[in-house]
Chains A and B, each alone.
Chain A
């Protein structure tokens, strides 16, 4: 069975500081991996996705993520956080024909 773990329930960073949100997955083959962001009261917006090829993927809003097969990880990074990045972040795994498996999410708070 597939699973996704986001170890950090809540992260607080100062505006302008760097950010890394962790995501670990369990699946027997290479999955499709996604990061979505959800602002309060809104739907989920895709930040970036990994299917194959280059393990460092670039997304919108200055985010990037690196797929590391050896560590079963797909961590999300941003070099300099803006106040508008405060939101809930979900790491999601899909196996093509299967359902999407969500992590529990990480809430990001940005201090001024």
Chain B
């Protein structure tokens, strides 16, 4: 029944060791988002894909990259994790613009990243 699935739920990595988080969706939504959420804070948008078009937020560090090989999957790559990158990473989807779009976000359960 799960519609947005994130793996792994928990990831432990060492300082500077690359990490990849994955997200898959069964909703066939056009838009996929990656958010970073630190403790007691609101989610912060890193970037999103509208279909194959990548949209990076201006303040997202170059250390964060993303890939969307097809409609269903999206990956978040952290090339050299620092201690400050420890956070919950949330994947979300939405339908995109058009008469059916209301901006409603559908979230996965998140991937908790620990950096040692």
Contacts and interface: CB of A to CB of B under 8 A. Distances in A.
Interface string B101-113: 1111111111010
A102 B42 contact: yes
A27 interface: no
B109 A42 contact: yes
Contacts of B70: none
A88 B90 CA distance: 15
A49 B102 contact: yes
Contacts of B27: none
A71 B110 CA distance: 34
Interface string B74-116: 0000000000000010101000010001111111111010000
B54 to A, nearest CB: 15
A96 B96 CA distance: 8
A31 to B, nearest CB: 9
Nearest to A104: B42
A32 B90 CA distance: 21
Interface string A23-34: 000000000101
B16 interface: no
Contacts of B101: 96
B18 interface: no
Interface string A75-103: 00000000000001010101111111011
A112 to B, nearest CB: 23
Given A41-B112, A96-B97, A97-B97, A46 B40 contact: no
B45 interface: yes
A44 B103 contact: no
A43 interface: yes
Given A41-B112, A96-B97, A97-B97, A46 B104 contact: yes
Interface of B: 4, 6, 40-43, 45, 88, 90, 92, 97, 101-110, 112
